[in-house]
Amino acid sequence: MSEITQEQVTQQSDPYLSRFEALEKEGERGGPSWVFPIRKAGISRFAELGFPTIKHEDWRFTNIRPITELPFLPVLEPSRETISEAALNRFAFAGLEAHRLVFVDGFLAPDLCQIESLPEGAIVGSLAEQLKKESKEVKDHFAGQINGEENAFTALNTAFFQDGAFIYLPKGTVMEKPIHLLFISTGSERGMTTHPRNLIIAEPHSELKLVESYAGLNDIPYLTNAVTESVIADEAHVEHCKLQNEPGEAFHMASLYSHQGRSSRFHFHPIAMGAHISRNTIRTTLDGEGLECVLNGLYLTYGKQLADNYMTVDHAKPHGESHEYFNGVMDEKSHGVFHGRILVRPHSQKTDAKQTNKNILLSGNAVVNAKPQLEIYADDVKCTHGATCGQLSDDAIFYLRARGLNYPTARRMLTHAFAGEIVERIRMDTVREELDRLVWDRLEQMPRLAQTAE
Amino acid sequence: MLEIKDLKAGVEGTSILEGVNLSVKAGEVHAIMGPNGSGKSTLAQILAGRDGYEVTGGSATFEGKDLLELEPDERAKEGLFLAFQYPVEIPGVNSSYFLKAALNEVRKHRGEPEMDAVEFLQFVKEKMKLLDLREDFLKRPVNEGFSGGEKKRNEIFQMAVLQPKLAILDETDSGLDIDALKVVSSGVNRLKSQDNAQLIITHYQRLLNYIVPDYVHVLYQGQIIRSGGKDLALELEEKGYDWINEERSQPA
Ligand SMILES: Nc1ncnc2c1ncn2[C@@H]1O[C@H](COP(=O)(O)OP(=O)(O)OP(=O)(O)O)[C@@H](O)[C@H]1O
Ligand SMILES: [Mg+2]
């Protein structure tokens, strides 16, 4: 029995519900009429769930009270603040050789986008626009994967989202250049909340390279609450890198739902560096034989940051292969959370599922909570998991020191290498190179690593 | 160059070295032999500054400096080098990046200018030839996925780059095939000069055919129980360690 009464839930959700009623009256903003019932289902789901507290098993280590204490100011119209093309340069991947969609406070900013000639039939653009067009693809897949979802933030996104990216690759389409989705929050007000919503559809045999990055202009407590749904059809290959680099006071909640078909390949690299509290939720359904799913994440925190990684890998068909590699580096009083659930359904024989979570605590005050969770209902499977937490290897430190490198240098080298293990798995060369530099710089900002004296 | 006097050390109350005496001068090659577990690696690790060992007595000086007072990296910069019996794999640390950083630390300490990437590359290329190493070697992470032989070769390659005054080679020959043994020992020999010294730990006379020692010492249960010229190694090969023991237990 949960100790939270329905009444408490209702009270807490009140401002959200009344905001929704207002949205309902505005009509237009709710988007096309076929979407409205989906929104309504979202808000009812949210009312039912309420915000999670640390009494909820899935949120034990992540206290989101600072978020619920903020005023709720969903952004429902495009920002009047304009960002110049040149101002984009301060953001990661701005110089990437890529197709680019820029969203400011959750709305597409057409002036900042850069979409060159796309392969025949491919679509890279605004989701809001697609919803209006009511194409079969969008109707078939929008909100298709969130049924029964227990994450209140996803429900909230469904109720309030305004825009986001829509990517569609027809059968056999190979996108050579990556697509970059840049989400910028102006952070003009405390409590400002954006609800980016993305839908990605990769039809059979298509290939997609995707970079999704989040940043902000002002360092104040605002919330980004993003949801991405990915549909990866048979034999499609998707590599997806997500960089969360919000300012230090901001909050970031993001959920990715992916559905994979037979012999498909999905490599997802979530990198969390910013925000006060962030949570990256992944729910991936491995719904075909011979597929491969790699979740390869990195979280770097210091100060009072908290970075939570929560994932469910659902092996719904036999002969699937999944790997999760998550490395975390925590300094000062920061906090890392890893929750990796692997579900192997009864008939999913010959599943090969591996999970590793490694953490380095640079300070005695840093904390990490790791929770592997294997639920295996098939008998002929290979499942392994391992979590480590601690300091760097003494043997390695000594080896480096025995060659003339002092202790701080040895520690820095090994910490960079530790983060590098994750970055190296990114196959998009230009993306990997840029991330390598970003991760390097971020680590150099960690107070313990910046120390030069022992 | 190296003076070890009555060195006693152990781990958590168990004593391993029970009074080691050894003096190594510039230009000399010393070999230390001894059965498994006699304390050879312990001696090497203590000289290189590995923590976890407790020195309970005696002293070790290197070029007049109290070695035991120095940090491991300071010892390396002073010119002491340990080729590890079990070189450590360091995933994610690029060999060339690591070695350039190490070399520049050592050079700074010697008052030499640091090398930039181009100079470094030129410099190491020659050394790589000396050890018959493939070009891609530098691009790989330190020791990661290296075969046993490659790891040992890498140790000597690092020695060639860092040019230490005293090199301690802990069983560099184990795990090497005959050809690699020749390459490695000819490398070691070419690094030899009047100004430096080598301390070679080995189980086998075979290595000493290639690297000819001036002195051979037998470490047994934490003490050097016998020292002699290169012929001592031959004698050991023939008669085993028991022979010394038997002789020792007989009154002279
Ligand atoms: N860190 C340690 N903790 C506990 N015991 C140790 C440690 N290091 C060495 N010893 C013990 O000290 C003894 C000497 O070990 P050492 O490795 O020095 O031997 P060695 O002469 O190098 O042997 P080998 O020829 O097998 O390499 C052994 O009994 C070993 O188990
Ligand atoms: Mg040994």
pLDDT at A1 over 50: no
Q: Is B75 in the pocket of ligand 1 (CB under 6 A)?
A: no
Helices (H), A220-275: none
The pLDDT tens digits of the residues spanning A272-288 come to 999 999 999 999 999 99
Q: Is B36 in the pocket of ligand 1 (CB under 6 A)?
A: yes
Which of A3-12, B58-67, B95-104, B228-237 bottoms out in mean pLDDT, i.e. has the lowest? A3-12
**Cβ within 8 Å, pair A413-B109:** no
pLDDT at B153 over 80: yes
CA of B37 to the centre of ligand 1 (A): 5
Instruction: Read off the pLDDT of each residue in B70-81 and give the average, rounded to a whole number.
Output: 97
pLDDT at A3 over 70: no
pLDDT at B241 over 90: no
Q: Is B226 in the pocket of ligand 1 (CB under 6 A)?
A: no
Which of A278-287, A402-411, B196-205, B234-243 bottoms out in mean pLDDT, i.e. has the lowest? B234-243
| CB-CB neighbors (< 8 A) of B71 in chain A | 401, 406-407
List the domain range (segments joined by +) for residue B235.
2-249
User: Which B residues in the span 213-252 are in contact with A, Cβ-Cβ below 8 Å?
Assistant: none
Instruction: Read off the pLDDT of each residue in A164-178 and give the average, rounded to a whole number.
Output: 97
The pLDDT tens digits of the residues spanning B8-47 come to 999 988 999 999 999 999 999 999 999 999 999 999 999 9
Looking at the structure of chain B, the number of domains it has is 1
Closest-CA distance, A163 to chain B, in angstroms, reads: 40
Residue A68: what pLDDT? 94
Q: What pTM was computed for the model?
A: 0.88
Residue minimizing CA distance to atom 12 of ligand 1: B16
Q: Is B40 in the pocket of ligand 1 (CB under 6 A)?
A: yes
In angstroms, the CA A182 to CA A196 distance is 11
Q: Is B38 in the pocket of ligand 1 (CB under 6 A)?
A: yes
Share the mean pLDDT of chain A: 93
pLDDT at A6 over 80: no
The pLDDT tens digits of the residues spanning B199-221 come to 999 988 889 999 999 999 999 99
Q: In this complex, is the C-beta atom of B76 within 8 Å of any C-beta atom belonging to chain A?
A: yes
- For residue A22, what pLDDT band results from cuts at 50, 70 and 90? confident
Instruction: Read off the pLDDT of each residue in A440-445 and give the average, rounded to a whole number.
Output: 94
- For residue B252, what pLDDT band results from cuts at 50, 70 and 90? very low
Closest-CA distance, B105 to chain A, in angstroms, reads: 6
Residue minimizing CA distance to atom 6 of ligand 1: B11
- For residue A8, what pLDDT band results from cuts at 50, 70 and 90? low
The CATH code of the domain that includes B16 is: 3.40.50.300
Residue A453: what pLDDT? 41
Report the residue among B8, B16, B84 best suited for mutation to probe ligand 1: largest number of ligand atoms under 8 A from its CB.
B16
Contact A327, A355 (CB under 8 A): no
In angstroms, the CA A301 to CA A335 distance is 7
Measure CB to CB from residue B73 to each of A394, A405, A414 and give the nearest one: A405
